[in-house]
Amino acid sequence: MNEEIKNMYAALGIQPDVLAFGEDILKNLESRFQEIDTVAEYNQLKVLKAMQDHKVSDIHFAATSGYGYNDMGRDTLEEVYASAFHAEAALVRPQITCGTHALAIALHGNLRPGDELLSISGKPYDTLEEVIGIRPSIGSLAEYGVTYRQVDLLPDGNFDFEGIRAAIGPKTKLVEIQRSKGYQTRPTLSVKKIGEAIAFVKSIRSDIICMVDNCYGEFVETIEPTDVGADMAVGSLIKNPGGGLAPIGGYIVGSRACVEQAAYRTTCPGLGQEVGANLGIIQSFYQGFFLAPTVVASALKGAIFAANVYEKLGFPVVPNGTESRHDIIQAVEFGTPEGVIAFCKGVQSAAPVDAHVTPEPWAMPGYDSDVIMAAGAFVQGSSIELSADGPIKPPYAVYFQGGLTWPHAKLGILMSLQKCKEAGVVKL
């Protein structure tokens, strides 16, 4: 590392011992980073081909308002998504506000009173608890007569196939699989494992809808859940597929029937996908999707760097420093609130936006405990941008993700280490 770069790190508040510790870690990560770049290259070509196949043109960037009838940009974008995910159809809309909203639409659109929703990857992400009705909330699936059951993963993180077989009943309409760990310290599920679970469910009853919560997983591998039999894959555009440019939005890809059902819930009966103006932000959706494979690669490098840094310091990390990666999230278990808070303060201070702000734990809507979030992002709440968060409850784990560029992800980890050192959480 040349002196000019060292001086820049110093100017940003990184002490020499912290920088040296990080550089020592990076010496052993070159081959891992090359593997990530290879996946990114494949996915970049896949997205490019989808865009070329559907003849994306500047006319598709034109703004629409009102009803949005005959919105060519919107319709073509959905065709691009469907092609890239090797699915029959897609719903990609700015009217979908976030990943939780996209999942809620997919569930409400494809479930009816008397149906049963079965999660086979354990408890879903915190914000889905109210959607389902695990925690009572206005308009939940439970209020509409949809029942819920779950099968926990085995202690080793694999699917409990016998438990799944026993849980599937005559009312089971939809099986939900959460790819990422959420606020848990379990392994993220690979697309291959998800495919095996889907095949198992379909072997019991072929009519069961299999939906995958794909948040944080897009473009981490060369295949997606829709490549291995998922009827729906659902996610957020302010995560991986938005590439850091999409200012809002969510997507649902999958079978034509399932996407259509979801579309009628997105708008209303009789209208479905026919309405929904792009409001002038459609170009950012296209451009963000184009950039997404390389942005995801940067985030993955940051996650692997973080795992190796904190593993060497003796903290439990999920995944560990050498495991294969299936999403962009890195969990670090500190065991104390002070560790979680110091880590988040470091990530915040490395941000291009609001670096001068100090994050504090607070009672966020949709969560059952105080949560601290570090996110100095261009898009509020974007988790493909450098961010970290965690609930202030045992085991006091922090969840790190994002980084639009590798140098920024690197700085975020170094700054987290700097703040942890200053707080006495770590000793180098």
Q: In sequence order, what are the residues at sequence separation of 6 or more whose Cβ sits closer than 8 angstroms to the Cβ of residue 269?
A: none
Query: What was the pLDDT predicted at 99?
Result: 96
pLDDT band at 138 (very low <50, low <70, confident <90, very high): very high
Is residue 49 in a domain?
no
* DSSP 8-state symbol, 132: H
Q: Do 26 and 98 fall into the same domain? A: no
The CATH number for 298's domain is 3.90.1150.60
Query: What was the pLDDT predicted at 375?
Result: 86
* DSSP 8-state symbol, 272: G
Tell which of 272, 289, 306 closes a domain.
289
Q: Do 71 and 153 fall into the same domain? A: yes
| Average pLDDT across the chain, whole number | 96
Q: Which domain holds residue 342?
A: 3-43+293-422
Min mean pLDDT across 177-186, 220-229, 324-333 is at 177-186
Do 388 and 344 contact (CB within 8 A), yes or no? Answer: yes
Tell which of 289, 321, 354 closes a domain.
289
pLDDT band at 251 (very low <50, low <70, confident <90, very high): very high
Q: What 3-state class would DSSP assign to 254? A: strand
Q: Do 35 and 86 fall into the same domain? A: no
Query: What was the pLDDT predicted at 181?
Result: 85
Q: Do 121 and 230 fall into the same domain? A: yes
Q: Do 320 and 373 fall into the same domain? A: yes
Query: What was the pLDDT predicted at 28?
Result: 96
Q: Do 269 and 125 fall into the same domain? A: yes
Q: In sequence order, what are the residues at sequence separation of 6 or more whose Cβ sits closer than 8 angstroms to the Cβ of residue 309?
A: 21, 22, 25, 413, 417
Q: What is the pTM of this model?
A: 0.95
Q: Do 281 and 300 fall into the same domain? A: no
β pairing state of 250-254 and 232-236: antiparallel
Q: Do 268 and 356 fall into the same domain? A: no
Q: How many CB atoms lie within 10 A of CB 357?
A: 14
Is residue 251 in a domain?
yes
CA distance 81 to 290: 11
How does DSSP assign 106-117, residue by residue?
Answer: HHHHH--TT-EE
* DSSP 8-state symbol, 60: G
Give the number of domains in the chain.
Answer: 2
Cα 55 to Cα 33, 51, 60, 80: the distances in Å are: 33, 6, 10, 9
Strands laid side by side in the 397-401 sheet = 317-318, 330-333, 397-401, 387-391, 371-374
Is residue 373 in a domain?
yes
CA distance 243 to 233: 18
pLDDT digits (tens, 9 = 90+) for 60-95: 999 999 999 999 999 999 999 999 999 999 999 999
pLDDT digits (tens, 9 = 90+) for 42-54: 999 999 999 999 9
Helix, strand, coil percentages, rounded to 5, for the chain = 45, 15, 45
The CATH number for 168's domain is 3.40.640.10
| CA angle, 236 then 240 then 241, to 5° | 70
Do 345 and 358 contact (CB within 8 A), yes or no? Answer: yes
Q: Do 9 and 34 fall into the same domain? A: yes
Is residue 50 in a domain?
no
| Identity of the amino acid at 28 | N
Is residue 427 in a domain?
no
Query: What was the pLDDT predicted at 367?
Result: 74
